[in-house]
């Protein structure tokens, strides 16, 4: 069960049980993206509000496993008040970490480092990245990039 304990770290369980920034806003200054993991039913909606290149607020809601739901809380916590560029950079590094590739900014990932254990569970990578990718999609849309 050691590998399992590495997966279900206290930080993760804490964000799962007591999610921060939870609940969506009915406010048009937010950009909203909903992402689903079709193979299992994880279903996460992320909202971000960017002002002058700074991510001022992030909200989330949805259903899914502990890894998926907690990571929405973690990413919201971490990226609030970061510049869009910093946010993107952290997202990329986080995704690399989960995919077991070399990554940077270890310290800057803070609580998100707790998810390093996911790399040992390839079947759970989607759970750990769905909220992050949904957030990235909101940033893409903010910046007017083409969005699927």
Partner 1 sequence: MDAHALKNDFTVLRNQTLTYLDTAASSLKPDVVLEAMNAYYHNNPVNVHRGVYEMSHVATKHYEQARRDIANFINADFEEVVFTRGASSALNLVALTWGEQNLQAGDEIVTSMLEHHSHLLPWQQLAKRKKASLVYVPLNAEGRITEAALKKVITKRTKILTLTYVSNTLGYKTPLEPIIKIAKAHGIKTSIDAAQAVPHTPVDVKKLDCDFLAFSGHKMCGPSGIGVLYAKRELLDKLDPLEYGGDMNDRVGLYDVEVKRPPYKFETGTPPIAEAIGLARAVQYLSKIGLEKIANHEHHLATLAIAGLQSIEGVTIYNPTTDTGIVNFNFDGVHPHDAVTVFDEASVALRAGHHCAQLVLKFLEVSATLRASFYLYNTEEDVQHFIKTVASARRFFTKVGF
Footprint of partner 1 on this chain (CB under 8 A)? 1, 3-5, 7-8, 10, 13, 17, 36, 38-42, 63-68, 121-124, 127, 148
Q: In what order do the strands lie in the sheet with 54-63?
A: 31-37, 42-51, 54-63
C-alpha span between 67 and 70 (Å, rounded): 5
User: Least separation, in Å, of the C-beta of 1 and partner 1?
Assistant: 6
Provide the minimum distance between the beta carbon of 146 and partner 1 in the complex, in angstroms, as a whole number: 12
CB atoms within 10 A of CB 43: 16
Cβ nearer to partner 1, comparing 21 with 126: 126
Beta carbon nearer to partner 1, 29 or 101 = 101
Q: Is 74 exposed, middle or buried (CB count within 10 Å of its CB: 0-12, 13-18, 19+)? A: buried
Angle of CA points 16, 18, 24, to nearest 5°: 90
Cα 43 versus chain centre, distance: 13
The nearer residue to partner 1, 17 or 25, going by C-beta atoms, is: 17
CB of 60 to partner 1, least distance (A): 16
In the complex, the smallest distance separating the C-beta of residue 40 from partner 1, rounded to whole angstroms, is 5
């Amino acid at each position: 069960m050691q590998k399992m304990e590495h997966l279900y770290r206290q930080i993760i369980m804490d964000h799962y049980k007591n999610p921060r920034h939870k609940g969506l806003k009915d406010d048009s200054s937010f950009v909203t993206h909903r992402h689903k993991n079709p193979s299992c039913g994880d279903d996460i909606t992320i909202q971000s509000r960017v002002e002058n290149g700074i991510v001022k607020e992030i909200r989330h809601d949805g259903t899914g496993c502990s890894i998926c739901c907690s990571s929405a809380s973690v990413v919201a916590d971490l990226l609030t008040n970061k510049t869009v560029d910093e946010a993107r950079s952290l997202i990329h590094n986080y995704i690399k970490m989960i995919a077991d590739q070399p990554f940077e900014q270890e310290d800057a990932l803070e609580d998100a480092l707790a998810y390093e254990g996911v790399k040992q569970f390839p079947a759970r990578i989607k759970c750990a990245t769905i909220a992050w990718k949904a957030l990235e999609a909101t940033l893409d849309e903010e910046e007017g990039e083409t969005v699927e």
